[in-house]
Amino acid sequence: MKRIITINSNQVHKSIETRGLLKEKLINAGFDVCYDFHPNTELIISIGGDGSFLKTVHDFDFPEVPIVGINTGHLGFFPEISPNEIDKFIEAYLNHDYVIEDVPVLQASVCSNKSCCDVFAINEVVVKGDKSRTIHLNLKVNDRHIQNFSGDGMIVSTPTGSTAYNYAAGGSIVDTSIELMQLTPLYPINTNAYRCFTSSIIFSIDSIIKIAPEYRFEDSILIVVDGVEYRFNQISDIKIFASDIKISLLRMSNYEFWSRVSEKFL
């Protein structure tokens, strides 16, 4: 039986061209290629940018096999391989010249008075109002009250997601080798009633973050998971914690996080 590799691509012209070239080269190297997830797939290749990579992981339901990205987008923190490096990548893969990075996944248990629903994130979970006005949230960590929050909302991110929405909101970039969660406030307001942190808060990876809306002010909360919006009514609380699920990200053996940061931001 031939070894199977799954390719998932966005519909941008450059990505479609790259997909065809990659398929041809993989077949010549002795692989079978699928565009849909196959149960015997040994590797998933996502073609596109960071958004396409995240969509691949969610579409394939957080698969256990390694994932690697070919970058036809912009920043490309997840997809580090460029289309002109396909031959180099295939040779390195055949020679096992790569490393596997375990990427943490956040689990958010969104509960109403009647039931709970779990959603999962690689980059971040955002809790905000679904209208353009200030919302009020109660923040607890490990059942200890931290603050009454007033502002636009909160971002809870992984180290992997620290360079995404978290960074745009003023949060810190975190080395992906460190296990932690980062909570970054969105436009916090300080008043006599609400004393809010104005910078990010770092929590250990085994913390349980609980965010509860104050319904005397707001009755509809928007949950944004890796850029995808979820709307819920009558939320009682959102518990965010590290999931048992992890994503295996295939990196080339010469990958260095801080070199990548310097390349993308400086």
Sign of the four-CA dihedral 44, 168, 218, 241: positive
Tally of CB atoms within 10 A around 132:
6
Spot the catalytic one: 32, 36, 50, 152. Answer: 50
Distance from C-alpha of 94 to C-alpha of 50, rounded to nearest angstrom: 25
Sign of the four-CA dihedral 220, 125, 173, 205: positive
| Residue 148 CA: distances (Å) to CA of 189, 190, 211, 266 | 10, 10, 10, 36
Name the token pair of 210.
């609980």
Q: Is 107 exposed, middle or buried (0-12, 13-18, 19+ CB in 10 A)?
A: middle
Active site residue 50: yes
| Residue closest to 137 by CA, chosen among 205, 200, 189 | 189
Residues labelled catalytic: 50
